[in-house]
Amino acid sequence: MNAAEISQRMSGEAPRIAEYLLPQGKRAGKEWKAGNTSGEPGGSLSVCITGAKAGTWKDFASGEGGDLIDLWMACRGQTMPEAMKDIKAFMGIRDDFPKPPEKTYRRPEKPTCQRPKQRVHEWLTGRGLTVDTLAAFKIGEQLQQGKAYAVFPFIDEAGVLLNVKYRNPDDKRDMRQEKEATPCLFGWHLIDPKARAVTITEGEIDAMTLHQMRIPALSVNQGAGNHQWLEHDWEKLERFSDITICFDHDAAGDKGAFEIIQRLGIERCRRVRLGAKDANQWLQDGAEAVDFQQAIDEARGLDPEELRSADDFTPAVEALFYPPVGIDADPFLYLDKPLDWFQFRAGEYTCWTGINGHGKSLMLDQVLLGLMRQGQRVTVFSGELTSPRHLKRIMKQATGLDRPTREYIRAVGAWLRERLWLFDLFGVARLDRLLEVFAYAARRYNVGHFVIDSLMMIDVPQDGPGAITKQNEAVQKIVAFKRKFNCHVHVVAHPRKQRDETIPVGKMDVAGAGGIVNGADNLFSIWRAQKDEAPANPNDPDAVAAWEQQQSDIDAKLILKKQREGAVQDYTLALWFDKPSMQYRTTPRRYPLRFVDFSIQDQEVPHENDR
């Protein structure tokens, strides 16, 4: 929860918080009066505790003021991160999304360089930057093989060097960063620890320009399209209630700004529009500090998504007809190979159904491995299995082995670390909490696929008065979520009880409200053949022959019953099942597939990859 959200929640409890922070004060109408932030007797400090301005305060003796977070810092003598931590504890706010192990980065050595005096000095001052600005950002000049390089150090609030970027002023392509260094924002050491507003730019020189214009600014480390810094600097950015995005005015800048605003939260982000392509170019064109400040003040949030000109979508429609080269396409359905008749498009909801015991969840786990193999990130809620037991099954499918070695298990765990997150709850989950955690995963970790397994394991009634209405409302929330975050949601839905198990489940067989199927963009039905484990009489040649014939027949079917957008609307895929690895295959050859490659000497099980 960021500072803007915390401040809003504190405003609703302004009387309690004012009395807690200033116990020596007293209520006077709509205000809480106190001497100062130390709680001394008097009346110079006033906290508004009711009405439209609830949560604001002013000390008329010192001139200090702000919201209740500012008051907390002033009364407790704390920094913003310290105050937010204490406030969350005081108000019972939990940020308890399960986090993966923190990444480790190499801390670079201090680069060998000098203060800019020659080519770098000429280049940067020629772009309107002052010597004081270069000194504030600790810019250096390095000479290598007859070339001059500008050295941009990435320093955190404590003065620790986390990364370094080198750029040749005479060749923009000649640019590099320290290997394995922290992906973070540039300029943290110049941001006031109490600041609540900041601007994020697309380049270091733009951040330096805004700083020179007296606007607190940070820069991304690797252009508009790479957002790795978000994961590292997430907690640092929580304290800002006003974040303006000042990316270049071009297609890449607009796309990058939109993505960042979506992830940081549209409620606290605004897009800056300058009078030139970027901040530094505007400076060179003659813009002054007052011009920059006016642009920041006039920055606007994202327009309402409901009101759009048709022509706004022309590039997206054109891309559907003619996909741009180098742009990742929506991932295919992948079991043991890509199946190009179906793609998991962003912003859609897929319903998975099938008779109990026919392998719905098992099939979905293998589909998810196929998505992860294509670079997708996934978050799963499976209330019917504990996380370790669920992962045990996934490990079998990922390795193609009934009992992988310890080393292989650890290798798969490492492979899953940045691909798979679990909502760790065994039992029934509250849908609102589930979607809240899913939203966090989408914003912070850029997760694109979310699984609810199953509708029976969320707090929605299955029968009784009002059950159908509640189920339809749950589907509406799921649909709203997938649209808001442009992600793909997978939901397992159980069918009504069938007369027998020889006929696959259809659309009309899904139990519950009609919205479960009607709201879905796609619907898959899973059916498994009921086969004998062994011949009825192993000494009877006819029984053995009949059993062998049965084993050669298909084991299962994956049936596409609905696809709103794709060309294929009804399709049945025949499948064979390898029981030890729990894998479905598209060929009668039941050799298991390795989703995660691993070199090991003592494996004796044949693999498709090895053939």
The fold of the 119-297 domain, in CATH, is: Dna Topoisomerase Vi A Subunit; Chain: A, domain 2 (3.40.1360)
Q: Is 53 helix (H, G, I), strand (E, B) or coil?
A: coil
- Give dist(CA 335, CA 365) in Å, integer: 10
Chain-centre distance for alpha carbon 347: 14
Residue with tokens 């690797």: 222
Which among 346, 259, 260, 258 has a CA at the least distance from the CA of 303? 258
Give domain limits for the chain.
3-91, 119-297, 347-600
- Helix runs in 325-430, H state only: 360-373, 387-399, 406-416
Q: Where are the beta strands (DSSP E) in 322-459?
A: 332-334, 338-343, 348-354, 378-382, 420-422, 449-453
DSSP state of 218: E
- Give dist(CA 100, CA 421) in Å, integer: 8
Confidence at residue 218, expressed as pLDDT on a 0 to 100 scale? 97
- Give dist(CA 261, CA 443) in Å, integer: 10
* 188-211 residue pLDDT tens: 999 998 899 999 999 999 999 999
Residues 491/350, Cβ–Cβ less than 8 Å: yes
CA angle 43, 45, 51 (to 5 degrees): 105
CA angle 183, 184, 188 (to 5 degrees): 160
Residues 554/574, Cβ–Cβ less than 8 Å: yes
- Give dist(CA 424, CA 433) in Å, integer: 12
Confidence at residue 604, expressed as pLDDT on a 0 to 100 scale? 43
Q: Read out DSSP for 168-204?
A: ETTEEEEEEE-TT-----BTGGGS-TT--EEEEESSH
- Give dist(CA 406, CA 429) in Å, integer: 32
Confidence at residue 602, expressed as pLDDT on a 0 to 100 scale? 41
Chain length of the chain: 611
Q: Give me the phi and psi of 87, to 5 degrees please.
A: -65, -45
Q: Is the dihedral of CA 92, 198, 297, 223 positive or negative?
A: negative
Confidence at residue 334, expressed as pLDDT on a 0 to 100 scale? 95
**CA-based R_g, the chain, Å:** 29
Q: Which two tokens stand for residue 32?
A: 């809480």
Strands 556-563 and 522-528, bridge-based pairing:
antiparallel
* 323-373 residue pLDDT tens: 777 666 789 999 999 998 999 999 999 999 999 888 899 999 999 999 999
* 508-549 residue pLDDT tens: 889 888 999 999 999 999 998 876 565 556 666 766 566 566
Question: 3-91 has which CATH code?
Answer: 3.90.580.10
CATH of 347-600, one of 3.40.640.10, 3.30.310.50, 3.40.50.300, 3.40.720.10: 3.40.50.300
Confidence at residue 605, expressed as pLDDT on a 0 to 100 scale? 47
Q: Is 577 helix (H, G, I), strand (E, B) or coil?
A: strand
Q: Is 559 helix (H, G, I), strand (E, B) or coil?
A: strand
Tell me which amino acid residue 324 is. P
Chain-centre distance for alpha carbon 182: 19
3-state secondary structure 86-102: HHHHHHCCCCCCCCCCC
Strands 171-177 and 161-168, bridge-based pairing:
antiparallel
Which among 222, 215, 220, 154 has a CA at the least distance from the CA of 189? 154
Which among 567, 570, 543, 547 has a CA at the least distance from the CA of 559? 570
pLDDT < 70 positions in the chain? 1, 39, 95-101, 303-308, 326-328, 531-540, 542-552, 600-611
Confidence at residue 328, expressed as pLDDT on a 0 to 100 scale? 67
Question: Would the pTM count as exceeding 0.85?
Answer: no
- Give dist(CA 149, CA 332) in Å, integer: 44
Q: Which two tokens stand for residue 219?
A: 């820069």
- From the number of C-beta atoms within 10 Å of its C-beta (0-12, 13-18, 19+), residue 325 rates as exposed
Q: Which two tokens stand for residue 406?
A: 């310890």
Residues 1/95, Cβ–Cβ less than 8 Å: yes
Cis peptide leading into 525, omega within 30 of 0? no
